[in-house]
A and B are shown apart, each in its own frame.
Chain A
Amino acid sequence: MNKINNTLIKDLEKATLKNIRDGFGEGLVLAGEKNKKVVALCADLTDSTRMSFFRDEFKERFVEIGVAEQNLASVASGLAAVGKIPFIASYAMFSPGRNWEQIRTTIAYNNQNVKIAGAHAGISVGPDGATHQALEDIAIMRAIPNMVVLSPCDYNEAKKMTLAVARHKGPVYFRFPREATPVFTTVRTPFKIGRAEVFREGSGVTIVASGSLVYEALLAAEVTDAEVINCHTIKPLDKETILKSVKKTGRVVTVEEHQVNGGLGSAVAELLVENNPVPMRRVGVRDSFGETGEPEELLEKFGLKAKNIIEAIEELNIN
């Protein structure tokens, strides 16, 4: 009867809320304990990115760069060139938003082992408004060769992800939101960069989701009996897992807190159009900027809730 992956919590409704960014902050401290080469750099947002946890533990391995994101990226490249494993953090809107070329040339083209953490990603940043709501970061990072692109679904996954990112050799971008979100994975839930996980077995439609909206996808699946894939690695995409599921279901809905253009939805569409074109809908922000509001109000207004996923599935079933 239970189609939900048995490593997730039993009752989705009882999920507690926790900050994904705390998972990053705690994971970074653990990574720093495991490996002395791990260093951290921040551009005047140390508390809100939770890099403060690392700064407080390893003062001598933390560098405050100031409001200078271009420098942040290239200094990290230099540190990696002499053997360090630098993590850089800022809001996704500023890094990679403002320093894309530095990331492309000095980190990715150089193939330096730099880890880029984009905090406050997505529309749920809330009252700060559109200038601070990164909705294009996955698109711009996905286009860069050598770059791995990740988006954790909850606190637990962010912690595991941060440790895995430190172990991975090469440039990585990972992004996470500001708000506390439901914790529905557990310490037992498997995590491997590059491997998507089937979080719920279902039929008729596959939902490929990333980030905290995986939770909304699971809620939607309770109503629609959809199969749900947690696609935390947007690049390189786990083609095998997605194609296998789609072969079974024949329909796809993607879900992400990002523009539908260039993000996970585009990545999945690219995969399917070349391998197994099937009817598809993309749930995400539809080519518009965000605005000021409470996180929940914004998720409602921009159509990123379980009910919107259900609507997209119904649309597919009619057509």
Chain B
Amino acid sequence: MQKSKSLEVVANEIREDLVEMLLAAKSGHSAGPLGMADVFTALYFSVLNHNPKKPDWEDRDRVVLSNGHICPVLYATLAHAGYFPKSELKTLRKLGSRLQGHPHREVLPGVETSSGPLGSGLSQAVGMALGLRMDHKDPWIYCLMSDGEQDAGQTWEAVMLAGKLKLHNLTAVMDRNNIQIDGFTEAVMPLEPLREKYEAFNWQVIEVDGHDISEIIEACDKAKAIYSKPVMIIAHTIPGKGVSFMERKPEWHGKPPKKSEADKALKELRTLGGKIKSEHE
């Protein structure tokens, strides 16, 4: 519990960085990255077996970010974890930056795969999990996905194959925030019942509050104890979490804050950070 409290502080700092990065970039996605800050914090500061000083370490656990558009939260988390200097965060989307608008494996340490076009990440995660299992190696593969990309046919091709291969070393985490660019997911293309869909494809499903860091960690632990199936953790999240005027608003899916909005957002986050810290003390 103590540990989780301090991770909440990390998640809040990541959110502050996100607002500043997006303001400086003048383009990019706001809601998704803010909503996933807790999941990223749980993974990189508790769940993963990794070494930021040795990003190519063969036995590391791997995170495949399938919905590449939320990469600001990947970048901020990687920087906080020590993969590269935090000072680089404000180069997001600028010419010559290693922080490309969508992640590129070849340029930034800690990025396992280039992504952006939706629906391809799970396939790559399946390939990694399968390759490691062929070699009887231990690393775990985590695939982070959006709910919007459940629309994509390729997602289900990969879901089917992972079920067939019984990939026990694969855990997917779906950001169930109910929004995508054109509106609410259930209006664009109804996805429910998601749990039953995955179960029908021979996956184990765990649902969590995507803002409860200890619950996320616990679900990842539980997934490791399931030997016969891949696991889907459906993380129920609030898009824009932590910034009141962005929360649950599809219009914040794909745009950055203006200066006045960023100031307001940072004020809210700093107040929240103060509260977390005082509770912690």
Binding site for B on A (CB under 8 A): 39, 60-61, 63, 65-66, 68, 70-71, 73-84, 86, 101-102, 105-106, 109-111
Contacts and interface: CB of A to CB of B under 8 A. Distances in A.
B113 A102 contact: no
Interface string B121-141: 001111111111011000000
B124 A74 contact: yes
Contact of A75 (B113, B119, B161): B161
A78 B126 contact: yes
A82 B157 contact: no
Contacts of B114: 105-106, 109-110
Given A82-B128, A110-B106, A39 B123 contact: no
B120 interface: yes
25 contacts: A39-B131, A39-B134, A61-B134, A65-B157, A66-B157, A68-B157, A68-B161, A70-B119, A70-B157, A71-B154, A75-B123, A75-B130, A78-B123, A78-B125, A78-B131, A80-B127, A81-B128, A82-B127, A82-B128, A105-B115, A105-B117, A105-B120, A106-B114, A110-B105, A111-B105
B134 A75 contact: no
Contact of A102 (B105, B130, B134, B154): B154
Nearest to A111: B106
Contacts of A111: 105-106
A200 to B, nearest CB: 42
Counting from the closest, the 4 A-B pairs by CB-CB distance are A78-B127, A74-B123, A71-B157, A78-B124
B154 A83 contact: no
Interface centre among A63, A76, A86, A111 (most CB of B within 10 A): A63
B120 A74 contact: yes
Contact of B134 (A60, A74, A77): A60
Contact of A79 (B64, B105, B106, B130): B130
A50 B127 CA distance: 22
Interface centre among A63, A66, A75 (most CB of B within 10 A): A75
B113 A110 contact: yes
Given A74-B124, A75-B127, A78-B128, A109 B104 contact: yes
B158 interface: yes
A86 B160 CA distance: 20
A70 B159 CA distance: 13
A81 B130 contact: no
Contact of A70 (B105, B126, B134, B153): B153
A66 B120 contact: no
A104 to B, nearest CB: 9
Contacts of A80: 127
Given A60-B134, A78-B131, 17 more contacts: A66-B161, A70-B119, A70-B157, A73-B123, A74-B123, A74-B124, A77-B123, A78-B64, A78-B125, A78-B127, A78-B130, A79-B127, A79-B131, A81-B113, A81-B131, A84-B131, A106-B120
Contacts of A39: 131, 134
B153 A74 contact: no
Given A78-B123, A110-B113, A71 B128 contact: no
Interface centre among B106, B115, B120, B165 (most CB of A within 10 A): B120
B127 A77 contact: yes
Nearest to A86: B127
Interface centre among A71, A78, A80, A106 (most CB of B within 10 A): A78
B161 A71 contact: yes
B116 interface: yes
A70 B127 CA distance: 13
